[in-house]
Amino acid sequence: MVQRRKTFRQFLQQDQGLDTDLMMLLEDIATACRAISDHVRNGAFANVLGAADSTNVQGEEQKKLDVIADEEFMLHCANSTRVAALVSEEVDDVHWLKDAPQAGDFLVYFDPLDGSSNVDVNLSVGSIFSIMRLKEAVTPSDAAVLCPGTEQICAGYAIYGRSTGLVITTGSGVHGFTYETGTGEFLLTQPEMTVPPKTVEYAINSARETFWYDPIRHYIADCVAGKDGPRGTKFNMRWTASMVADVHRILTRGGVFLYPMDSGNEATGGKLRLMYEANPMGMLIEQAGGAASTGTSRILEVAPQSHHQRVPVILGSRDEIAQIEAYHSQD
């Protein structure tokens, strides 16, 4: 008899030993991702492609799907009576759901549609999320959501690509699920995803070369020099302009992803957001055996100053991240 794969719920219940509140929140997030997946897939029919004629808090042009994806996350995460607050890339203010949050309540951070410039050209996009748990009762304020990435109890993303995937960690490894369209279930397809320590593949937006500082300039020059260069190895470059797609590739076959601080983004602290991009991806990569760094320090230990804070991001195969950090300490 064919063995049926584990469903997301069975996995959370049987393998992860999560408490009911966290399990239900993760199921609500999976429901939001299912709904977003359908919007993304039906895009051209449902008139959801293109610009929304608005900008988000980051000053970026919003796509219609950015707005729709944000609504799905807001709607489904608000189901749980244990969610204290939601922090979305698309919304300026922290969205408090409770007037008097208690110890044990959740903070949920999310980028509802990452890489959305890829939507109109039918390339992979995704949703990223991070969950923390309040250690004590707090009064709602912006400062109350500023916990470092080491305090995450769960991180994950959905990828809307050739198939829809959901990848999560609750602190014991990284596990991948695939959306089965017939049943509407996420089924466990990639248990224990790992990032090999070595790689010959890097991902960076090389059009920013003119802005790079020396450590990145020298590292990339040495990779490009290939077999005859100081690394003595032929490297490949892959950049999708969708962090979820690049991280998914790294979790599948290794590699490094770089969005470093450069002279063009230094004024804002980098490009990617700490609380709902760098932290959750950093936790996933570390849990899979990789490393996540700003270039000089561990991303998960960055002390957040604001909920939309940006940070340099360099993550992936462990040995290669150590190399890149060495370029930073030499230059």
Which residues contact ligand F6P by CB under 6 A?
114-115, 205, 241-243, 272
Q: How far is the CB of 241 from ligand F6P (least distance, A)?
A: 4
Q: How far is the CB of 225 from ligand F6P (least distance, A)?
A: 24
Q: How far is the CB of 316 from ligand F6P (least distance, A)?
A: 13
106 vs 276 by CB, closer to ligand F6P:
276
User: Burial level of 98, CB count in 10 A (0-12/13-18/19+)?
Assistant: middle
12 vs 311 by CB, closer to ligand F6P:
311
115 vs 165 by CB, closer to ligand F6P:
115
83 vs 125 by CB, closer to ligand F6P:
125
Q: In the bound complex, which residue of the shown chain has the CB atom lying closest to ligand F6P? A: 243
Q: How many Cα atoms occupy the beta-carbon half-sphere of 324 within 13 Å?
A: 34
In this structure, what are the phi and psi dihedrals at residue 234, rounded to the nearest 5 degrees?
A: -85, 120
Q: How far is the CB of 182 from ligand F6P (least distance, A)?
A: 30
CA separation for the pair 74, 69 (Å, rounded): 9
Q: 318-330 and 214-224 helices cross at what angle (nearest 10)?
A: 130
Q: How far is the CB of 181 from ligand F6P (least distance, A)?
A: 25
CA separation for the pair 210, 215 (Å, rounded): 13
80 vs 293 by CB, closer to ligand F6P:
293
- Residues paired with residue 218 on neighbouring β-strands, in sequence order: none
24 vs 91 by CB, closer to ligand F6P:
91
Q: How far is the CB of 231 from ligand F6P (least distance, A)?
A: 24
Q: How far is the CB of 160 from ligand F6P (least distance, A)?
A: 13
96 vs 213 by CB, closer to ligand F6P:
213
